[in-house]
Each structure stands twice: as C-alpha cells, then as structure tokens.
Amino acid sequence: MHTPRVCKILKIESEAENIKTIYFKDRRISRRIVPGQFIMVWIPGVDEIPMGVSHIGLNSELAITVEAVGEATERLCSLKEGDVIGVRGPYGRGFSNPGLNNLVIGGGTGMAPLIPLIELCVREGVKVNVLLGGRSLNRTPFIEKLSSIFKSTPSSFRVTTEDGSYGYRGLVTDLLEEIVLKNNFERVYACGPELMLRKIYEYSIERKLPLEVSLERYIKCGVGVCGSCYIGPYRVCVEGPVFKINELEKIRDVFGEWTRDAAGRLISLK
Ligand SMILES: Cc1cc2nc3c(=O)[nH]c(=O)nc-3n(C[C@H](O)[C@H](O)[C@H](O)COP(=O)(O)OP(=O)(O)OC[C@H]3O[C@@H](n4cnc5c(N)ncnc54)[C@H](O)[C@@H]3O)c2cc1C
Ligand code: FES
C-alpha cells in the first residue's frame, strides 16, 4: 500500500527562478486527495521527499510545484517530460472545507498546496481573497496562474514582493490588517515560511481569526511510524500538515522557533 507507484512525467512548466511544476497521473492519489494533503515523491537514485499537491485535475491528473533547494529537489527540477518518478499517498490531514468568505495567504512555494483550495472556492462560487508574497517578481511562483484565475475579480488577488518588483513592496503580513478589516472571514488558510506563519498566527489570536496553517517538519516514512516529524505532541505526517489555531496554541513554544534536521537535532528557525 505504501510502495511508490511509478509514473511518467507528462508536462513541466517553469513557474519562477528554480521553481517548476511537474504534471503526472495517479488514479489512487487523485481519487482520495483533498487540498492540503501531501504525497511522497521518489526520485530514482536520489531520495524520497514530501511534496504538497498544486494541481488536482480531471482524469487523475496531478501536479507538484518544486523549488530547487538541495540534492533531491534539484534533481526533480532537472527531470524532463517522459522521465519517471515514484509517488505514494495522499497522506496527512488537509484543509477544512471553505466557508462563504475565505482568506488564503501563501509565501513563495508555500502557495502550492493552496492552489487547489483556491480553485475549489472558485468552483463552488464562494468568496476568496488571495495574498501571495515573494522576494521578487522572478522568484515568486503562480503570479500568472492566479492572475488568470482572478481575471474577472482582480480585487481578490494581491501580490507583495520584498524588493517591490511586482505589486506591493513589503511582506504579505503588511497587508493583513487592511484586508481583514474590510471582511468577515469564515476561514483563513496559510502556508509558507514558518516565521511568516507565526506572525499570521499572532495576528489571528489578536483578531480571533479562524486560522489553519500547513507546517513542514522532517518527513521520512510519511505514515506516522518513524517519529521524525514530531512538533510538540503532533506528527506532521498524520495529525498535520494542516493545523488549526487551537492546535497551534499547544505548540506555541516550538512553532516558529525550532525545527529538527534528519538526525533529530534541534535547529533554531530565527
Ligand atoms: C508536508 C510537506 C510538504 C512540502 N511541500 C513542498 C512543495 O510543495 N514544494 C517544495 O518545493 N517543497 C515542499 N516541501 C519541502 C521539501 O520536501 C524539501 O524542500 C525537500 O525535501 C528538500 O530536499 P533536498 O534534498 O532538495 O534538500 P536538502 O538539502 O536535503 O534540504 C534542504 C531543506 O529541506 C529540508 N528537508 C530535506 N529533506 C526533507 C524531508 N524529507 N522532509 C522535510 N523537509 C526536508 C531540510 O531540513 C532543509 O531545510 C514540503 C515539505 C513538507 C514536510
Ligand atoms: S514521517 Fe515518520 S512519523 Fe511522520
């Protein structure tokens, strides 16, 4: 059941500098996955790593969006159409169903698992405001994809870049107050760098926002057995990767403060 299934890469799109979206088909994952769950991707001869799913399409079509940050992700980004990868999953707990008015906040590649959620909101005709943050225009994925989704309602999608090369100059968190004061959000979803998520969490506590965030920890087995992905009392691969605000309160000493490497050593996030 947890053996990777080999599948062919159907299509590759470049999203931004060092960030690619890789399309493939897997019936088993596509039949069960909900936005926010993750899969394990095996790169032949290299490693197996966790990835969010950035596209849940028709006829079992799926995609992952990969940022090259090390050996496995660099190899994934160098693969070509027709090459093979192995996939297993879906694993973990995804985002809860959208409400009537939703806020989605993504930082860089962290927007990947939020794209299918945004598409679900659009399909269901519920309101969705999207904030996408990145370092600069050429390092921020999904600007084109989201602009095309929001063609008819441009006010619902805003981009921030740290260097001001696109959209608002600054951080996504700079725009939070403005957007929250204009809306009554039933759900707020976020994924991205953990320090950004911690800021959003602090703000959500203050404003009593119904926040859910997707967190990352070192994942080996993906199925709750090896213990490498613990954050406080939770295994990210089973109880996460999506956590609700009441659960974040229980891990406030570690969330945004500490993570662990492959050997289990504590690493400061600051
Ligand atoms: C639930 C989840 C979903 C993810 N979704 C995406 C995604 O959609 N797109 C994307 O680009 N990245 C995603 N990641 C991060 C991705 O798994 C790591 O960037 C990747 O494993 C790095 O491997 P590497 O060999 O290229 O780099 P390394 O040089 O091995 O590591 C670079 C960084 O990635 C972390 N990392 C390495 N291996 C793992 C692992 N097995 N589990 C968790 N972190 C690891 C390291 O701690 C280090 O901080 C996700 C991680 C998790 C936990
Ligand atoms: S990755 Fe093994 S318990 Fe979560």
Are residues 65 and 141 both part of a single domain? no
Q: Is the pLDDT of residue 153 over 80?
A: no
In a mutational test of the pocket of ligand 1, which residue from 19, 47, 49 has the highest number of ligand atoms less than 8 Å from its CB?
49
pLDDT at 264: 87
Q: Which residue, chain included where needed, has tokens 């159409």?
A: 81
Give the mean pLDDT of 49-62: 97
The fraction of the chain above a pLDDT of 70, given in percent, is: 98
Closest-approaching ligand to the CA atom of 235: 2
Helix or strand (DSSP H, E) at 125? none
pLDDT at 270: 83
pLDDT tens digits, residue range 242-269? 999 999 999 999 999 899 888 888 899 8
Cβ neighbors of 93 (< 8 A, separation 6 or more) are: 36, 37, 238, 239, 240, 241, 242
Answer whether residue 96 is part of any domain: no
Indicate the average pLDDT of the chain.
95
Nearest CA to ligand 1 atom 24: 70
Q: Is the pLDDT of residue 152 over 80?
A: no
Ligand 1 centroid – CA 185 distance (Å): 31
Ligand 2 centroid – CA 204 distance (Å): 28
* CATH at 21: 2.40.30.10
In a mutational test of the pocket of ligand 1, which residue from 29, 73, 261 has the highest number of ligand atoms less than 8 Å from its CB?
73
Ligand 1 centroid – CA 49 distance (Å): 6
Q: Which region holds residue 140: left if phi is over 0, alpha if psi is between -120 and 50, else beta?
A: beta
* CATH at 201: 3.40.50.80
Q: Is the pLDDT of residue 103 over 90?
A: yes
Tell me the residue range of the domain where 26 lies. Answer: 5-91
Domain boundary among 91, 117, 138: 91
pLDDT tens digits, residue range 171-181? 999 999 999 99
pLDDT at 151: 81
